[in-house]
Amino acid sequence: MATKVQLAVIATAMACMVTPGCDCGGGDETGFDAGHYPDGAPIGPSQHVITCSGCPCFPGTDCSGSGTHPPPPPACAAPGAAPELVYPPDGALFPPNTNVIEVQFRPGAGNELFEIDFQNELTDVRVITRCNPIANTRGIATGGCGFSLSDENWRFVTEVNRGGLPVHVTVRATPMDLSCVGTSNSRDILVATEDVPGVIYYWQAATVDGVPGKSGGIFRFDFGRTDVPPEPFLESSPTTANRCYGCHFLSRDGERISYGSDDPDSDDEYGDVSSYLMDVGTRTLASGRLQPGFRTFQMDHSTLLASDGLSRENPAAFYRYDGTTGALVDNPSSGEARGTHPDWAPDDSRVVFVRPTTFYQRTSASEDPDGDDHHFSGGSLYQMTFDGTTFGAPTPLLMSSGENNYYPAFTPDGAFLIFDRILGATGIDQDAFSNPRARIWAMTSTGGAPVDLSRLNDRDGLSNSWPRVSPYVQSDRGHEIVWVTFSSIRDYGLRVQNEDPAGVACYPPESPQNPSTDRGCPLVPTSCACTTEGCTTFCVQPQIWMAAVEVDASGGINAGNDTSYPAFWLPFQEVSAHNHTAQWATAIPDRPPAMDGGTCGGAGAACGAGLAVCCAAYYCDSPTSGTCRVLM
């Protein structure tokens, strides 16, 4: 194992390669062994200093490598002189392989030079920087500053702190005359013991014909390849007639995906949605279309179970499809009422689903028993067993007492359920679709009292929606954990400022909550001229957040305790987009080398066995010897 000194030197070289303005040959960075403060006390861990080009050394920091700290200046006494640390979240647990983390802060009055400190018994990393101004996604200057840790910087902090003590993050600030120092609030971050594995497929809004947010596509990110940015998997573009690709459901093994194809009118109704089943590895489509609705796959993707999204079955039933051909197998009963939001247990032994009490019309708050199955209230959780051939009769798991329970998801061991819940509302105000009242809860999968994951939820009004769970249970600090992703309209530091009273949920413009359909700028509202402070309204941007949740077999959730950590923003997202509906899989299927950073097949290209995979705007019409055709 490397010594502290060796790690400091390695980190200095890594940081220098990627830090803007860093003079890699001129001694603007130092890494040295423990020295002593002026009072003779040992410094502790090896110190590592990164200095911006042309910047003076920060007061009280040894930039010379002598091992001795100069005396610190007095604290700044002027009102408002202390900086304020805004991001990262206090107490969040980060996977070691999370890429580029940004520290965001307000500078404090009169300050021009800053030192961002990462410190504990093993770490003393100091970044000296000037303010890198932050404008939010509406183009409005926030008055704040940001510094992005490179992947190399981040790995240095994480590798020595896997499963260890909290790392204290603090910002110090000084005027350019270096006469005094103001110190921010401190926040602690934790580093998980293990890298997070798996891949997520998520929906990202797109700009179509100059109008932002009325269409979108499916992107994917491989946590095992943090050096590779997210790639479009199903792409909306003029090539595909600007269609919107979303409403996707993924098999846990990553081999199959079902998705919806909609015209770019930004509504949320099923009448103009076509649904397809695709082999992810070959990008071939199963013959025929599927009924719109919510879906779940068996672990080996051999079977797809779908809700009756359009209320066509009487008596109420699901659709069971062959997971390869898309052929309808049968219609398993959902019991006495319609079922939706199914999720298959990882061992295939059962399916959990939601049975609502009330459905709504797509453009009003009127009750409609035949309404599409994504607008409803009063959801209870049911389950039905599966013996490999036949489903058992649905039985209640969590009965609603007036609240709405929905979007259930099994943990990888099948022991727990993570789901959305809305309390304190009735009727359309507890609608399951993009509801600001939504909070994420957990319970054992065999029943019992549900638990509000309050640390993950943070506070009310954030639309914490569509929770999905990473495909592996991992170990951390003597506990078993999973990673939960969800969409939220909370602020991402200073960059995405959703929590302004003028912010409104604009996507989709057409929904029971907004029958007027008058919100015409559902993404970045520059086309609505909302680029200055004081706009009457602006459109909030859902983003994907992730948090760890402990799922031990005893105690914790079983005993009614919140075992979640605060959530963090997934840093690979396009910050100006709407990003949500993250679905997990174990891995991306094998693909030809040409697709691994190389070329893909466009219109008319040969595809199939041993050939390049079709690009994200195309599908292959044969798995053996086919042609790339425009995506449906």
Per DSSP bridges, beta strands 626-630 and 244-250 are unpaired
SS3 41: coil
Please name which of 357, 335, 353 lies closest in space to residue 344, comparing C-alpha atoms.
Answer: 353
Query: Which distant-in-sequence residues (6+ apart) come within 8 Å of 197 by Cβ?
Result: 223, 224, 470, 471, 472, 586, 587
Place of tokens 């792409």: 235
Question: What backbone torsions phi and psi does residue 601 show, to the nearest 5 degrees?
Answer: -90, 130
User: Are 63 and 69 in contact, with CB atoms under 8 Å apart?
Assistant: no
Q: How far is CA 237 from CA 572, 579, 606, 628, in A?
A: 21, 17, 21, 16
CATH superfamily, region 199-585: TolB, C-terminal domain (2.120.10.30)
Query: Which distant-in-sequence residues (6+ apart) come within 8 Å of 204 by Cβ?
Result: 216, 217, 218, 219, 573, 574, 577, 578, 579
Segment 38-75, tens digit of pLDDT: 444 444 566 788 889 899 999 999 888 777 778 888 99
User: Are 335 and 394 in contact, with CB atoms under 8 Å apart?
Assistant: yes
For residue 88, say if its preceding peptide bond is cis, omega within 30 degrees of 0: yes
User: Are 454 and 447 in contact, with CB atoms under 8 Å apart?
Assistant: no
> Hey, where are the domains in the chain?
4-191, 199-585
Segment 594-621, tens digit of pLDDT: 444 557 899 999 998 888 899 999 999 9
Segment 476-516, tens digit of pLDDT: 999 999 999 999 999 999 999 999 887 877 765 556 655 55
For residue 315, say if its preceding peptide bond is cis, omega within 30 degrees of 0: yes
**Helices in 432-483 by DSSP H: which ranges?**
454-457
pLDDT at 153: 79
Per DSSP bridges, beta strands 167-174 and 182-183 are antiparallel
The tokens describing 34, both together, are 């423990």
**Calpha distance 157→296 (Å, rounded):** 39
Per DSSP bridges, beta strands 319-322 and 93-94 are unpaired
Per DSSP bridges, beta strands 244-250 and 568-569 are unpaired
Q: Tell me, what DSSP letter sits at residue 225?
A: -
- Please name the amino acid found at residue 537: T
Would you give the distance in Å from CA 358 to the centre of its chain?
30
Q: Give the global pTM.
A: 0.91
What angle is formed at CA 133 by the lines to CA 130 and CA 134, rounded to 5 degrees? 140
Q: At what angle do helices 151-159 and 4-18 cross, to 10 degrees?
A: 160
For the chain, what is the total number of helices (H) and then of strands (E)? 3, 44
- Please name the amino acid found at residue 359: F
Q: CB burial class (10 A; 0-12, 13-18, 19+) of residue 575?
A: middle
Please name which of 354, 320, 350 lies closest in space to residue 335, comparing C-alpha atoms.
Answer: 354
**Calpha distance 590→588 (Å, rounded):** 7
Residues recorded for the chain: 632
User: Are 280 and 259 in contact, with CB atoms under 8 Å apart?
Assistant: no
Please name which of 547, 625, 530 lies closest in space to residue 582, comparing C-alpha atoms.
Answer: 547
SS3 133: strand
Which CATH number is associated with domain 4-191? 2.60.40.10
Query: Which distant-in-sequence residues (6+ apart) come within 8 Å of 382 by Cβ?
Result: 334, 335, 339, 352, 353, 354, 355, 394, 395, 396, 397
Residues lower than pLDDT 50 in the chain: 1-43, 522-527, 593-596
The tokens describing 155, both together, are 């790995």
